[in-house]
């Protein structure tokens, strides 16, 4: 392996393992920050005698215990009934160097809506998503000098949300994967009504520099669902479903950090052709769903850019066949690149 190729591998491994230390030897090095919504002087949603701040705390503590029993390190933004502002919740997460942030909440609506939903950060696609985000973001009104702390952010103004998505963008792919595991668990394990994965502008997600999700366990305004979420049985079942999702996410996170495709299987090949399908300053997992179904995609890094490569051929004729496949899969700007001694020929 020549020096350029070796450098690319080292940089890739450093990027992926910067937060995991000795994980190759110890699969338990995975940290989750659990954020029970509201607390203290901020009760959150209150309906039918049910308090969001109590339900989220009880469910979070049960979730944390299960994760710890499975060798996952857990950090809470609060572990009792106290008020913690949104910036401090994010700071706790960022100081922990965690691999996943989970904020747990309960919903409210004037109708008899019911069901669980999981959010990642993004622009609200509709008025309903904005209303959910506005409810959770309104906690800043309990904070002193919130206008200065949040740079004039107004939870009631949809335009304020636009700036929230920029800093978390690089973690969005992983956030969606984690949210998928969680939402599927609610539906498949507990037969909860599926309110799907959605995007909205939550302050607490914006300031966390890691994959982050916000869970709405269900609606306290629905008396039947509120009673379920308020019960030890409901809290245990929801915690178990989330914990199972986190464990599955952890396993996929580590199993796909390094692919054997990153190294050439035959170092004796001197000249060959590949298809460059994309280039980005973001590193994606080498899974087919990230590449419109294309399999066996590799990545090399040049400078700050990751180049994604498909196919490997000794002849240009063979490469052109893979080029057609790549373009048929939606990569219309893909092109053939030639390698000599494992280096791209400019």
Strand 212-219 to strand 31-36: parallel, antiparallel, or no bridges (unpaired)?
Answer: unpaired
Contact status, residue 201 vs residue 119, Cβ threshold 8 Å: no
pLDDT of 284 strictly over 50 = yes
Contact status, residue 299 vs residue 306, Cβ threshold 8 Å: yes
3-state secondary structure of 63: helix
Q: What is the pLDDT of residue 86?
A: 82
Among residues 20, 48, 25, 50, the alpha carbon closest in space to that of 38 is found at 50
Give pLDDT tens digits for 120-151. Answer: 876 544 444 445 444 454 444 455 554 444 44
Q: What is the pLDDT of residue 23?
A: 40
Q: What is the pLDDT of residue 278?
A: 85
Q: What is the pLDDT of residue 12?
A: 44
pLDDT of 6 strictly over 50 = no
Q: What is the pLDDT of residue 295?
A: 82
Mean pLDDT of 36-58: 96
pLDDT of 261 strictly over 50 = no
Instruction: Report the greatest alpha carbon distance in the chain.
Output: 73
> Measured between alpha carbons, how far is 217 from 114 in angstroms, rounded to an integer?
10
**Position 204 confidence tier, pLDDT thresholds 50, 70, 90:** low
What mean pLDDT, rounded, does the chain reach?
Answer: 77
**Position 291 confidence tier, pLDDT thresholds 50, 70, 90:** confident
Global pTM reads: 0.60
Give pLDDT tens digits for 68-87. Answer: 999 999 999 999 999 998 88
| All domains in the chain, ordered by first residue | 21-255 (3.40.630.40), 260-344 (3.30.70.1070)
Give pLDDT tens digits for 149-203. Answer: 444 444 444 443 433 444 455 577 788 889 999 999 999 999 999 998 887 767 7
pLDDT of 344 strictly over 60 = yes
CA dist 224 to 66, 117, 189, 230, Å?
26, 17, 19, 10
pLDDT of 309 strictly over 70 = yes
Among residues 201, 200, 233, 234, the alpha carbon closest in space to that of 218 is found at 234
């Amino acid at each position: 392996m020549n020096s350029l190729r070796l450098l690319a591998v080292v940089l890739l491994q450093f990027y992926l393992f910067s937060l995991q230390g000795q994980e190759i030897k110890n699969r338990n090095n995975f940290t989750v920050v659990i954020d029970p919504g509201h607390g203290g002087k901020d009760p959150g949603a209150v309906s039918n005698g049910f308090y969001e701040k109590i339900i989220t705390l009880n469910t979070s503590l049960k979730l944390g215990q299960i994760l710890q029993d499975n060798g996952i390190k857990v950090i809470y933004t609060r572990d009792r009934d106290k008020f913690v502002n949104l910036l401090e919740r994010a700071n706790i997460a960022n100081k922990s160097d965690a691999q996943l942030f989970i904020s747990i909440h309960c919903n409210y609506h004037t109708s008899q809506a019911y069901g669980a939903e999981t959010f990642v950060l993004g622009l609200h696609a509709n008025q309903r998503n904005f209303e959910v985000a506005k409810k959770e973001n309104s906690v800043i009104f309990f904070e002193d000098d919130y206008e200065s702390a949040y740079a004039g952010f107004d939870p009631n103004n949809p335009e304020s949300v636009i700036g929230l998505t920029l800093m978390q963008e690089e973690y969005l792919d992983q956030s969606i994967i984690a949210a998928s595991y969680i939402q599927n668990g609610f539906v498949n394990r507990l037969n909860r009504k599926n309110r799907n994965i959605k995007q909205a502008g939550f302050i607490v997600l914006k300031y966390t520099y890691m994959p982050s999700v916000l869970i709405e366990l269900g609606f306290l305004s629905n008396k039947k669902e509120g009673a379920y979420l308020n019960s030890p049985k409901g809290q245990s079942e929801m915690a178990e479903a989330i914990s199972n999702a986190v464990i599955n996410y952890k396993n996929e996170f580590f199993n796909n950090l390094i692919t054997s495709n990153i190294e050439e299987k035959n170092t004796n090949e001197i000249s060959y052709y590949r298809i460059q399908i994309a280039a980005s300053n973001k590193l994606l997992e080498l899974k087919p769903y990230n590449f419109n179904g294309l399999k066996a995609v590799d990545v090399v890094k040049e400078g700050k850019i990751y180049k994604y490569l498909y196919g490997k051929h000794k002849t240009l004729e063979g490469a052109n066949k893979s080029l057609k496949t790549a373009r048929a899969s939606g990569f219309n700007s893909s092109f053939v690149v030639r390698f000599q001694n494992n280096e791209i020929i400019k």
